[in-house]
Amino acid sequence: MTGALSIARDLVRCPSVTPLDAGALAILENLLKAAGFETHRVTFSEPGTADIDNLYARIGNGAPHLTFAGHTDVVPAGDDAAWTCGAFSGEVRDGFLYGRGAVDMKGGIACSVAAALQHLADHGGKPNDDGKGSISFLITGDEEDISVNGTVKLLQWAKARGEKFDHCVLGEPSTVETLGDCIKIGRRGSQSGTLYVEGVQGHVAYPHRAANPVPDISRLIVALSEEPLDHGSAQFQPSNLEFTSVDVGNSATNVIPAQARAKFNIRYNDLHTQESLRELVEARLVKAAGNRIKAHILWEPSNANVFVTKPGAFTDLAVAAIEEVTGRKPELSTSGGTSDARFISHYCPVIEFGLVGQTMHQIDERASLADMENLTRIYREILDRYFG
The residues assigned a catalytic role are 73, 143
Residue type, position 176, single letter: V
Residue 365 found at the interface with Zn ion (CB under 5 A): no
Phi/psi for 164 (5° steps) reads: -125, 120
Q: CA of 347: how far to CAs of 42, 200, 379, in Å?
A: 19, 51, 21
Cβ 296 to Zn ion shortest distance, Å: 36
Q: Are 294 and 240 in contact (CB under 8 A)?
A: no
CA distance 348 to 334: 17
Residue 105 found at the interface with Zn ion (CB under 5 A): yes
Residue 10 found at the interface with Zn ion (CB under 5 A): no
Of 20-28, 81-89, 169-177, 321-329, the segment contacting Zn ion by CB under 5 A is 169-177
Of 164-172, 203-211, 316-324, 347-355, the segment contacting Zn ion by CB under 5 A is 164-172
Helix (H) or strand (E) holding 245: strand 240-247
State CA 197 to chain mean position distance. 34
Helix (H) or strand (E) holding 32: helix 24-34
Residue 104 found at the interface with Zn ion (CB under 5 A): yes
Cβ 105 to Zn ion shortest distance, Å: 4
Chain residues 171-190 in contact with Zn ion, contact rule CB under 5 A? 172
132 CB neighbour count, 10 Å cutoff: 14
The strand pairing partners of 193, in sequence order, are: 264, 299
| Residue 327 or 337 having the CB closest to Zn ion | 337
| Residue 104 or 142 having the CB closest to Zn ion | 104
Q: Give the interface size with Zn ion as a residue count (CB under 5 A).
A: 3
Residue 11 found at the interface with Zn ion (CB under 5 A): no
| Residue 55 or 105 having the CB closest to Zn ion | 105
Selection from 74, 218, 40 nearest residue 144 by Cα = 74
| Residue 141 or 213 having the CB closest to Zn ion | 141
Cβ 351 to Zn ion shortest distance, Å: 15
Q: Which residues bind Zn ion (CB under 5 A)?
A: 104-105, 172
